[in-house]
Amino acid sequence: MARLNIDSSGVILLEIPDVKGDVHTYSVNPTPTDLDPKYWSVLVKRLDSEDEYLVAVGPTNRWTCGCKDFQFRAKGQPYQCKHIKDMKCIKAATDRLMPQREPAETQEIAS
């Protein structure tokens, strides 16, 4: 199971164990704003290497990851790499804390 740390400036660090049990720390960062807004996505960067992966889910609820594990194993089959598994938890938490709301109509407050 991954461990999530958030510092006072909002930086998210995620500790994810690999199949051998070695724990690697990743930063979780927003994606560039030019990506399709219909997708929820984050950049997950492993801190002890240059590895960085785009993890995303679209309107059809299909998750994708740029890691080699996902690219190799998914090939048309339902598969979730460790990055997707942990980002699903983060997305569920953010959805719960900040549910999508319809824009409120402007209301005048009586004085």
On whether the CB atoms of residues 81 and 52 are closer than 8 A, the answer is no
Nearest Cα residue to 74 out of 93, 87, 46, 55: 55
In this prediction, residue 105 carries a pLDDT of 56
Strands 3-6, 52-57: pairing kind? unpaired
In this prediction, residue 111 carries a pLDDT of 52
In this predicted model, what pLDDT tens digit does every residue of 40-84 receive, in sequence order?
899 999 999 989 999 999 889 989 999 998 988 877 677 889 999
In this predicted model, what pLDDT tens digit does every residue of 8-31 receive, in sequence order?
888 899 999 888 999 999 999 988
Q: Report CA-CA distances (Å) from 45 to 11, 26, 91, 104.
A: 12, 5, 17, 36
In this prediction, residue 110 carries a pLDDT of 56
In this prediction, residue 2 carries a pLDDT of 79
In this prediction, residue 51 carries a pLDDT of 94
Q: How far apart are CA 21 and CA 102, in angstroms?
A: 44
Q: How far apart are CA 4 and CA 13, in angstroms?
A: 6
In this prediction, residue 31 carries a pLDDT of 86
In this prediction, residue 24 carries a pLDDT of 93
In this prediction, residue 109 carries a pLDDT of 55
